[in-house]
Structure formats: structure tokens, C-alpha cells
Amino acid sequence: MAVALLLHHLLDGNQTVHFLSKSCACRRPFTLRPIRVTMSHNQSYWTSINGEIEAHLKQAIPLRPPLEVFEPMSHLVLSAPETTAPALCVAACELVGGHRDQSIATASALHLMYTASFVHEQLPLTDRPRPKSRPTIHHAYSPNIELLIPDAMVPFGFELLAKADDPTQTNSDRILRVMLEIARAMGSQGMVEGQYHELESSSQWDNAWIEHVCKKKDGGLHACAATCGAILGGGGEEEIEKLRRFGLYVGMIRGMSHGIGKKEKGLVRVVEELRNLALQELEEFEGGKLEAISSFVNA
Amino acid sequence: MAVALLLHHLLDGNQTVHFLSKSCACRRPFTLRPIRVTMSHNQSYWTSINGEIEAHLKQAIPLRPPLEVFEPMSHLVLSAPETTAPALCVAACELVGGHRDQSIATASALHLMYTASFVHEQLPLTDRPRPKSRPTIHHAYSPNIELLIPDAMVPFGFELLAKADDPTQTNSDRILRVMLEIARAMGSQGMVEGQYHELESSSQWDNAWIEHVCKKKDGGLHACAATCGAILGGGGEEEIEKLRRFGLYVGMIRGMSHGIGKKEKGLVRVVEELRNLALQELEEFEGGKLEAISSFVNA
């Protein structure tokens, strides 16, 4: 915890993070060294990753028959609000030494899953309370279409994953493991549990409740994304678990800063503590991608 | 076509089918022999398969936290209207020489996918036309729950599939292939396309339109189920494709007899022709399970 507090005091508020990183013990002797991380410095890295994910999705969702299904799918996928989870998947893959190509299909599938959840969350239902965090959005399609298209997006995401299996590389076991991670993150004890609590418990908006919802929704999605990237990039089990926790903290920070917690001033300290915890998980990594992935704590 | 017509004349209306089957060329020389198939004779076979699928689902969906999610999931899965697709998956696996255990998880996943589609189809939306075939059903839960729970069922189905991977049997490639089949059957060019046409085109109820919807919905689901069973049971490519077509015809028969086409007298001839086509696809199979799977044409 002393390291966490030290890291905490090194954080400043202008998108620049100075933190200490110790090298991975298995690579070279333990040392402490300062690393300077700026969001602007890494902007081209994120732009490049997001560009590749978008290109993959555009290529994967051609405007083919039935156009009544593919046109809204394409529109909804490409106009969904930004999430950092797909880019985190790619960054985690590269951090553990994998190649970007190994993770682009999974990052695209994560974007599809996230979009499907988002569209269903916005669906107008007669009995549905509107959570106070929920902005009024423009509905480009009828409720019937906005119910059906996400039902096509989720299996399509799994299709992208299954097609990413390359028999020449015998990566089937990694792909199956990634599918299991994504299925769990999106399911009954992940995203759906978070959505249930957000929608059914709108009278209990205390900070503990917000933390729980952020953990299940953005936290779970980002934990899954980082875990999948580490698995696909060939990370060791310890690296995978560190990146899972890093993703969880990053996602919770995001939920509390931009999602349901964004107007809760009482969460500022929680967010700072989560930043410390997240950066601690990266302490034993090294390499050129470390600075970039660290900047997620300010995303 | 001559064989199809011959088969057609051998069909009678009291749940008893006599049809000609030629043995698989690769097993023994081509012969034609009469086989007597009765539904009642095979009842214990179907009861046994469906019992195993239900037991697998009950074990897979324990009543654990969050109960608000798992209780409705369990209830909706176990109370969904009957579909023959999961049992067809198991029967196809056994027909090609596989063991039932190889297909129970996939059959259970198919039941989850089907239930998720069914529940979303019934969701009351403000703009939604009620297709004339759609019965008024009792809604056990609020629309919000009936939207969310299927969103958990679909990834849970993929979780069951991914967990069916047995590293000691190196069946990863079969599992990934089955996932691809299920993702496509449930997605934009399968179930969702069928649902779109059923819900958005309620003024165009001619027989060609009914056939198209039955092909995409029940047809696609049953084709997928039989294909998956054949893949998991270790069937050859030719056997897999024959069972895919058998499943397609069986599903279309079911859609026309029990689904949207059930009140259309003009479809009787189409259903009879589909029965012939289905039985033709089985001509080169043999073994103790042939009689049972043949009875699907009357299901």
C-alpha cells in the first residue's frame, strides 16, 4: 500500500502521470525507474488501434442482403459511443509481446458486444425506469429494429472470434478461452447483472451501489478486454491476471468518471485509489508499450 | 425425383412412415430396403434425449446469485415451448456413430438460443405489430426482465459450448466449428432475418413468404442442430451436408405444421414434398438410430 500511496502522490491532474515501474523479475533484475506518461503523447497509438478496429468492423459488416438487417447493424456499430475496452484488448496483447493482428478480431467482437448492450439499454419499454445517468438519445430506428439488431450482433461477435481461429497456428485453445471470458463478462454475472441493478434499483444511488454497477459493467468489460488481449498475445498466467485486475480498475475509473458515477463528487477519492491500484498491476511489465497502456488510467 | 415420389406414396397419415433406405455406399453395397418408422415406437428415445438435455440445463443454471437474474433464466428456459432442434442435434450425433455425451452441451446451448429468441419475440414494444400467428402468452416477468435475461442466455449458451472443449480429446476444432454454425444460424442471415420478415412484413402473408420465414427460423435452427450433431459425432463432410439438408427440411415442415404456416391449407403439398426430400437425405445412412431420426419428418 505504501507504493500505492507513493504512486498516488505522483499523479497530477493535467493528463500527465509520472509513476514508478519495476521491471519484470523474470526479464531483468528489479529496479525502480520513473516513467513519464502523457495522453497526448500516446494519442497516435490509440488513433491507430481504433482505426484498425473500425476498418475490421467495416470489412466484416458489408452492406449485403438482408439490407434491412445489415444497414442498421453497420450504422449502430459505427455510431456507438466510444468505449476504451477494444483498444485496451489490443494494448494488452502488444504489452505481453503479441502482435496486433492477433487481437483485432477480438477487439472488434468486444465492440459489437458493447454496442449490443448499449442499444438494448436504450430501448424504450413501457415499464422501464430511466436511470438518472441515462441521456436522452436519438433513436435512428424503430424499437423493433433496435431489439432485433443487437440480437444479431452478439452471435456475429462470436462468429468473428470463431473465424479468428487459424488452424496453421494451433491457436484454438486461446480462442476458446477468449470466448469463455467474453461470454462470462457479457452474461448473468457480468454486464447483465450490472444492467439489472442499474435499471431495477434506481432508488438506491449511494456510492457503494455505483461502485458495484461500475464493477459489473465497465469494470467487467475492460477486465475481460485486457485478459483476452493478454491470452491472445501469449502472456503468462501471472501477466494475464495482472492485466485482468488492471482492466477492472480502468473500467471502474471510466464508469465513475464518464458513466453513472460522473456527477458524484464523493467518488473522486475512490477514482484516485483505483488509479493507484491499476498502476501497481503494471509494475512488473516493461517494453515500449508500457507507457501507452498506462495512460488508460486517465482515459 | 422418382425416388421422392415413390417415398411420397409410401407415406401415410397415421404417424407411421414406410420408406426406402439405401445403405451408405462406403459401408456396404447399395441396396433398397423398407424401414418401418413409428412415432410411438421412438417415443422413449425422444423422452430419454429431452430428459438428458433438461437435466444438463438444470445443472448448468443453478439458483445462485444474482437470483434476480438466474431465477427468471431458469424459469424461462424450462418453460419455453417445445422445439425439436436440440433433440435432433443429439440424434444426428448418434446417427453418425458419435456418443450422446458429445452433443448434450450443444443441444442445451441450442435450447438456450431458441428460448432467448422466443422471449424477445414476445416482448411487448410500442411500435410492434403482432403477427397473426402469434398467440397471446402469459408474461411471467416485466418487459425489462424479459429483455435482459435473453441477453444473458445467448452468451451463456456460448459459455456451455466453450466449456464442452475437452483438451484431452483435442476436440477444439469441432467445438469452434459448431460455434460458427450456431452464430450464423442465430444471426443476421438466419433467425434474425426470419424474425425481421415475420414482424415487419405482416401484410405479405402468401405461401412463398411463409416458406421463406420458415426456412430462416425453424429451418435454419434445425439445419444448424443436425449439422452440429454430425460434426460433434465425427461425421464425414458428405454426412454433415446431408444432415444439414435433412434438418432444414424437418425445420421447415415444423414451421409450416406448427408455426406460422399451421393454418395455411395450401401448404399441405409443400409439407409432403419436404418430407420426401428429407427422407431422401437419409437414404445412405444405416444403423439402429436411423429409424428414430426418420420419425422427425412427422414431428
B179 close to A179: Cβ distance less than 8 angstroms: yes
Cα-only R_g, chain A? 19
Please report, to the nearest 10 degrees, the dihedral formed by the alpha carbons of residues B220, B223, B229, B232 taken in order: -80
pLDDT tens sequence across B153-211? 999 999 999 998 776 667 889 999 999 999 999 999 999 999 998 887 766 678 888 99
Distance CA A226, CA A258 (A): 19
Looking at residue B103, its pLDDT comes to 96
Are B206 and B214 within 8 A, CB to CB?
no
Asked whether residue B132 carries a pLDDT value surpassing 90, the answer given is no
CB atoms within 10 A of CB B34: 9
Least reliable range by pLDDT among A44-58, A129-143, A148-162, B7-21: B7-21
Selection from A168-177, A213-222, B64-73 with the highest mean pLDDT: A213-222
- Substitution target from A118, A179, A195, A204 for chain B, most B beta carbons within 10 A: A179
pLDDT at position B266 over 90:
no
The percent of residues above 90 in pLDDT, for chain B, comes to 60
Residue type, A114: Y
User: For the domain A53-298, what is the CATH code?
Assistant: 1.10.600.10
Structural element, H or E, at residue B19: strand B16-22
Q: How confident is the model at residue B291 (pLDDT cuts 50, 70, 90)?
A: very high
Is the Cβ–Cβ distance between A30 and A36 less than 8 Å?
no
How much is the average pLDDT of A82-99? 96
Cβ distance of B155 and A120 shorter than 8 Å:
no
Cβ(A156)–Cβ(A194) below 8 Å: no
Q: B237 near B267, Cβ under 8 Å?
A: no
C-alpha pair distances (Å), B126 with each of A127, A134, A143, B113: 11, 20, 8, 25
Q: What is the mean pLDDT of residues A118-139?
A: 72
Confidence of residue B134 (pLDDT cuts 50, 70, 90): low
Mean pLDDT of B251-279: 88
ipTM reported for the complex, 2 dp: 0.84
Nearest CA in chain A to B62: A188
Nearest chain A alpha carbon to B114: A151
Q: What is the per-residue pLDDT for A62?
A: 81
Query: B98: alpha, beta or left, given left = phi > 0 and alpha = psi -120 to 50?
Result: beta
A174, pLDDT greater than 80: yes
Q: What is the pLDDT of residue A135?
A: 59
Alpha helices in A1-42 (DSSP H): 2-10
The confidence score (pLDDT) of residue A134 equals 59
B154 touches chain A (CB under 8 A): yes
Length of chain A: 299
Q: Which cell numbers hold the place of B188?
A: 443476421
Task: Specify the CATH superfamily of domain B54-125+132-298.
Answer: Farnesyl Diphosphate Synthase (1.10.600.10)
What's the whole-number mean pLDDT along residues B103-122?
A: 96
C-alpha cell of B40? 410411438
pLDDT of residue B23 exceeding 70, the answer is no
Is the pLDDT at A169 greater than 80? The verdict is no
pLDDT in tens, B170-182: 788 999 999 999 9
* Residue B15 to chain A, least CA–CA distance (Å): 37
Q: Highest mean pLDDT range out of B3-17, B56-70, B151-165?
A: B151-165
Torsion sign over Cα A234, A239, A244, A250: negative
- What would you report as the CA-atom Rg of chain B, rounded to the nearest whole angstrom? 19
CA-nearest residue to B63 within chain A is A188
Q: Are A298 and A15 in contact (CB under 8 A)?
A: yes
pLDDT (average), residues A143-148: 92
A277 CB-contact burial (10 Å; exposed 0-12 / middle 13-18 / buried 19+): buried
Q: Are strands A32-38 and B32-38 parallel, antiparallel or unpaired?
A: unpaired
Those of residues 222-261 in B touching chain A at CB distance below 8 A are: none
Strands A32-38 and A16-22 come out as antiparallel
Task: For Cα atoms B245, B251, B255, give the angle at the middle one, nearest 5 degrees.
Answer: 145
User: What's the grid cell of residue A188?
Assistant: 448473468
pLDDT tens by residue, B40-50: 667 888 999 99
Q: Do the chains contact at A148 and B199, CB–CB below 8 Å?
A: yes
Please give the pLDDT value at position B258.
Answer: 83
